[in-house]
Amino acid sequence: MNEQTLRELDKNITEDEKLILGSVDKFLEKDVKPYVKEFESEDKYPQDIADKMAELGLFGATISQEYGGLGLSAVTYSKIVENVSSVWMSVSGIFNSHLIMCAAVEKHGTDEMKENYLPKFASGELRGGIALTEPDCGTDLQSIKTKAIKNNQSYTINGSKTWITNSVQGDVLAVLAKTNSEISPPHKGMSLILVEKKSGYVAKKLKKLGYRGIDTGEVQLNQIEVPLENLIGKEEGKGLQQILSGLELGRINVAARGVGLGRAALEDSIEYSKVRKTFGKPISQHQSIQIKLAEMATRLEASRLLTEQAAKAYDSGKRSDLQAGMAKLHATETALFNATEAMRIHGGFGYSPEYNIERYYRDAPLLAIGEGTNELQKIIIAKQLVQ
């Protein structure tokens, strides 16, 4: 983040937050950028990078200072995610899923749960994520089949989850399960339960087109016993609402990722267009390239403003799913657009791993699918408009 950008943020963030943003940028320059190609090409988990993020406090970025977190606003957090994603989008996923889990615990957990878990989450001692989707259902969470049967002092959980971030390398998951399969509508019988890896669940890493390095796994929960006090909240049947409130922050994160990736694609394209020559002049002087750059930049700026608006709405404490949905939709479509245009601007070189463009091109589609598909975002937006 350059000095001009920091000046623009002066009115919205504290001195401490500016220091954090500066520290993150130094970390990205020194500890992430030189190693991206190595870890990405080998699809190797960046353990050292994750540990350094814990030292920076990023695993507690949005957790209240009362529990040892940084207590950052969503506005500042989204700026961090943008900057991280402009260097390597996968890294932002490591703490995003973790912080959605944290938000669910901090908003809805009992005092005992918060005091027990949040300091460990904030320090990175325990790192985790959310286990929602299953092999037979993605966006349609009411169709999950994982069950949690209540016994005298524990829940017995059986089921499988897929595409779960931090399930292989992490320590704990917030698992969405049915505690009552008879009730209608189904969401009234769904609960959110913290399940630590030491309880015995098994996670297998999945291969992906992009978004490499970060662990995304398939989770098997077979006769897993967890204490009753691991239920998030004081009563069953609130799990879907609890996790959906956390997903507002998740969608702001994904929007910020889209801004970061779209920015990287644009910046790389501008620099390349200045040095690549055809017909005796830099391609930046060709009108067709200028039109592409102008549209990429305009879409990017609109995405950034929508993301900031969503973050401010979230910080206000009011319902922000409309703003988060709009930001997620526009920013991720911008990432797809900019990555594709960057590929065209770079031509054959964009198709080579020598440049970063092919990584942007592989990473961008995930953003349109993850944290609720963009088709779902349109439905959410429309419903809110009608209401």
Full-prediction pTM beyond 0.75? Answer: yes
Across 50-59, 165-174, 246-255, least confident range:
246-255
In angstroms, the CA 13 to CA 146 distance is 42
User: Do 361 and 260 share a structural domain?
Assistant: yes
pLDDT digits (tens, 9 = 90+) for 87-129: 999 999 999 999 999 999 999 999 999 999 999 999 999 999 9
Six-digit token string for 79: 């700026």
User: Do 370 and 246 share a structural domain?
Assistant: yes
Highest mean pLDDT among 14-23, 246-255, 334-343, 377-386: 334-343
% of residues, the chain, pLDDT over 90: 84
Please, what is the average pLDDT of the chain? 93
Give the CATH number for residue 136. 2.40.110.10
Q: 315 and 291 in contact (C-beta within 8 Å)?
A: no
User: Do 258 and 329 share a structural domain?
Assistant: yes
User: Do 88 and 188 share a structural domain?
Assistant: no
Q: How many CB atoms lie within 10 A of CB 345?
A: 25
Give the pLDDT score at 3: 44
User: Do 12 and 116 share a structural domain?
Assistant: yes
Left if phi > 0, otherwise alpha if psi is -120 to 50, otherwise beta: which for 362? alpha
In angstroms, the CA 131 to CA 174 distance is 6
State how many domains the chain has.
3
Sequence length of the chain is 387
User: Do 337 and 221 share a structural domain?
Assistant: no
Final residue in a domain of this structure, among 204, 237, 270: 237
User: Do 283 and 310 share a structural domain?
Assistant: yes
63, amino acid identity: I
User: Do 150 and 93 share a structural domain?
Assistant: no
User: Do 250 and 223 share a structural domain?
Assistant: no
User: Do 273 and 380 share a structural domain?
Assistant: yes
User: Do 262 and 348 share a structural domain?
Assistant: yes
Give the CATH number for residue 255. 1.20.140.10
Give the mean pLDDT of 193-222: 95
Final residue in a domain of this structure, among 123, 158, 182: 123
In this predicted structure, the answer to whether residue 352 has a pLDDT above a threshold of 60 is yes
In angstroms, the CA 38 to CA 44 distance is 8
Helix ranges restricted to H, the chain:
3-9, 15-27, 36-42, 47-56, 74-87, 89-108, 111-123, 239-275, 287-315, 321-346, 357-369, 374-386
149, amino acid identity: I
**DSSP per-residue letters across 310-333:** HHHHHHTTS--HHHHHHHHHHHHH
Final residue in a domain of this structure, among 123, 156, 183: 123
In angstroms, the CA 275 to CA 282 distance is 6
| Residue 375 designated active-site | no
User: Do 139 and 276 share a structural domain?
Assistant: no
Catalytic residue chosen out of the listed positions 196, 308, 371, 375: 371
In this predicted structure, the answer to whether residue 364 has a pLDDT above a threshold of 70 is yes
Residue 226: give the domain boundaries.
128-237
pLDDT digits (tens, 9 = 90+) for 258-294: 999 999 999 999 999 999 999 999 999 999 999 999 9
In this predicted structure, the answer to whether residue 245 has a pLDDT above a threshold of 90 is no
Pairing of β 216-227 and β 172-178: unpaired
Give the CATH number for residue 23. 1.10.540.10
